[in-house]
Amino acid sequence: MTTARFDVLGIGNAIVDVIARAEEDFLLAQGMRKGGMALIDGARAQALYEAMGPAVEMSGGSAANTIVGLASLGGRAAFVGKVKADGLGRSFGHDIRAAGVSFNTPPAVAGPSTGRCYVLVTPDGERTMNTYLGAAQDLHPDDIDADTIAASAVTYLEGYLWDPKHAKEAFLKAAKIAHDAQRKVALTLSDAFCVDRWREEFLQLMRTRTVDLIFANEAELHSLYQTSDFNAAVAGLRADIAIAVITRSENGCLIVSPDGAEAVPAFPVERVVDTTGAGDLFAAGFLSGLARGADDRTCGRLGALAAAEVIQHLGARPETSLKDLARENGLVD
């Protein structure tokens, strides 16, 4: 196996986040499920934008956030995702490249505009997302470059990609190329409602070893195994996947393998401002450690550190060098 050119290559929806603060009454009036993600069409996107309060626009997308976080930790990172050749698409491309990420997916010249995620942040820091996929849903198997996948130690896939048909096919193509090159494939389950839609197919990906590692939070785990019994769900994971990482908010994470489970504590935070991107940045830290050959506990601590940084400010990407933070905390040399 040749030396990897990239530590992690992420494949996901290329999205620009439109973030605004909102009271819970606004969510109720708009028929939203607090803490969830709903897919919306263009008309709903326009109506919601008009109803929202003052908003901040910044590049986002689950896997893209993870890959930017990995770059902030000093990792060699690449991203595959579809934007349109429009203003938001150019902003997305500029931002991800400026973060040190290789991004070469050709933009669409026709069809829907660049995808947007309308993020409503309530006073407790919880985020509720409404996503217009736009051009992101047109990611196609032809956008997957075999040489780049084969040159990446880990290919990281977001569960949201399972919604559009061609994106799903791109996902499967990438996983096969990675395994043929003796590389690892990781999957984030993305959202409990996403798991509700695709439960059996996600379980099949795990049981057939199409993916080697999954990331999930507790809600996603309970949805995956349709049980409220945490220990029963963990037992299911042990049988179904080589390694899984369950994030548990202020309770840290649990790293599960057939050999057992290791709990890793969260990093303390002064104040939770916005939980957008917490899981994405946790994955960034964990994958950064994995790519460096760190032990499970160090990987978990790196994940916890990255998540703690991102929830203390608005937006889903780091504002501080995560590599510097990791060095200050003795997690990297």
Q: Give me the residue spans of the domains in the chain.
A: 6-328
Q: What pLDDT does residue 165 have?
A: 87
Q: Compute CA 23 distance to the chain's CA centroid, rounded to the nearest angstrom.
A: 26
Spatial neighbors of 315 by CB under 8 A, at least 6 apart, are: 17, 19, 56, 58, 60, 274, 276, 277
Q: What pLDDT does residue 1 have?
A: 62
Q: What is the pLDDT along the chain (333 residues), one digit of tens a residue?
A: 678 899 999 999 999 989 999 999 999 999 999 988 898 999 999 999 999 999 988 898 999 999 999 999 999 999 999 999 999 999 999 999 999 999 999 999 999 999 999 999 999 988 899 999 999 989 999 999 999 999 999 999 999 889 888 999 999 999 999 999 999 999 999 888 899 999 999 999 999 999 999 999 999 999 999 999 999 999 999 999 999 999 999 999 999 987 789 999 999 999 988 888 899 999 999 999 999 999 999 999 999 999 999 999 888 899 999 999 999 999 988
CA 261 vs CA 67, 208, 242, 245, 246: distances in Å: 26, 22, 12, 9, 10
Q: What pLDDT does residue 224 have?
A: 97
Neighbours of 144 (CB within 10 A): 23
Q: What pLDDT does residue 228 have?
A: 96
Q: CATH fold of 6-328, please?
A: UDP-N-acetylmuramoyl-L-alanine:D-glutamate ligase (3.40.1190)
SS3 39: strand
CA 264 vs CA 255, 296, 301: distances in Å: 8, 9, 7
- In terms of Cα–Cα distance, which of 104, 114, 127 is closest to 22? 127
Q: What pLDDT does residue 127 have?
A: 87
